[in-house]
Structure 1
Amino acid sequence: MVEALSIYKKWKGYSLDYEGSRKLIFSLRESNSCFVKNNAIRIFTRNRGCDFKISGCFPDKCCSIVDSKGNEVAQVRMMKEVEKLIESKDLYHVVVNPGMDQAFVFGVIAILDYIYGESTHC
């Protein structure tokens, strides 16, 4: 019932220390309203507001992570060479721009994979 009343669908990404304590690193939000025209998934880091958004279509494996200034910081694509050989959508070609945290990018990809019903289980 709470999900139906919320205007956002939310997912959270945590880091774990050696003792198993969780620390929130980022959250993904998607508008849950039929009145919102742009249902882009937005990524919020723990210390700031909306820092990134997903541009493109993750289920088609053709999207980018874009920062608040409009700069593409990572790209996700389907591996065309492998796609022809096997019928799997579990293989990605990911390019992370210099200076961007690779663990953060792959955490976002894992949650997107989960959201869209692929092989990642959270």
Structure 2
Amino acid sequence: MTLTDAYQTPLLLIRRKGGVVEALSLYKQWGGYTVVESQKLVFTLKDPKTCFANNQPVRGSIEQNIYCNNFQIKGYFQDKECSILDSRGNVIAQVGVSNEMTETKDLYHVVVKPGIDQAFVVGVIAILDYIHNGSTRC
């Protein structure tokens, strides 16, 4: 999946890591890559496989140490109510339900802390939406 801006300029490429790496892991893994610079890995998101979940949170890491080394999803994304926390536990983005209702697409109300890359936050939300059977397809 490619995340684009309003002008259809690619911002982020999202791919699920599959094959042997995922088969041997306790997690389902996704990566967010830059579209330029030979597709450098920007962040990794790990979702515990169902049989190992035990209410473990979705976790991730940022490869370029731009914001923090690790991040965590706190809350219940299926209800569209969660936060993205940095490694110190500070909220860097808050996801909520949009007041606007549509029949064909999920709308989110997202508040991003100043200085945090919005494409990164939207990429994480897109993966979470996919994980929880939303309208996003990765």
1:112 counterpart = 2:128 = yes
Shift of 1:13: 0.9
The equivalences for 1:43-122 within 5 A come to: 43-47=60-64, 51-79=70-98, 81-83=99-101, 86-87=102-103, 90-122=106-138
The CA RMSD measured in Å over matched residues stands at 2.4
What is the CA–CA distance in structure 2 between the aligned matches of 1:66 and 1:78, rounded to whole Å?
18
In structure 2, the residue corresponding to 1:59 is in which secondary structure? Answer: helix
Shift of 1:53: 0.4
Q: Going by fraction, where is helix more abundant, 1 or 2?
A: 1
Equivalent position of 1:13 in the other structure? 32
User: Conserved in 2, the CA contact under 8 Å of 1:42 and 1:50?
Assistant: no
Equivalent position of 1:29 in the other structure? 46
What percentage of aligned pairs have identical amino acids? 55
Shift of 1:41: 0.5
What is the CA–CA distance in structure 2 between the aligned matches of 1:119 and 1:35, rounded to whole Å?
25
Shift of 1:88: 5.8
Structure 2 counterpart of 1:45, one-letter code: I
In structure 1, the residue corresponding to 2:89 is in which secondary structure? Answer: coil
Give the alignment's TM-score, normalised by structure 1.
0.81
Shift of 1:6: 2.1
What is the CA–CA distance in structure 2 between the aligned matches of 1:64 and 1:88, rounded to whole Å?
24
User: Conserved in 2, the CA contact under 8 Å of 1:51 and 1:68?
Assistant: yes
Query: Which of the pair has more CA radius of gyration?
Result: 1
Residue segments in structure 1 that go unaligned for 5+ positions in a row = none
Give the alignment's TM-score, normalised by structure 2.
0.72
What is the CA–CA distance in structure 2 between the aligned matches of 1:100 and 1:41, rounded to whole Å?
19
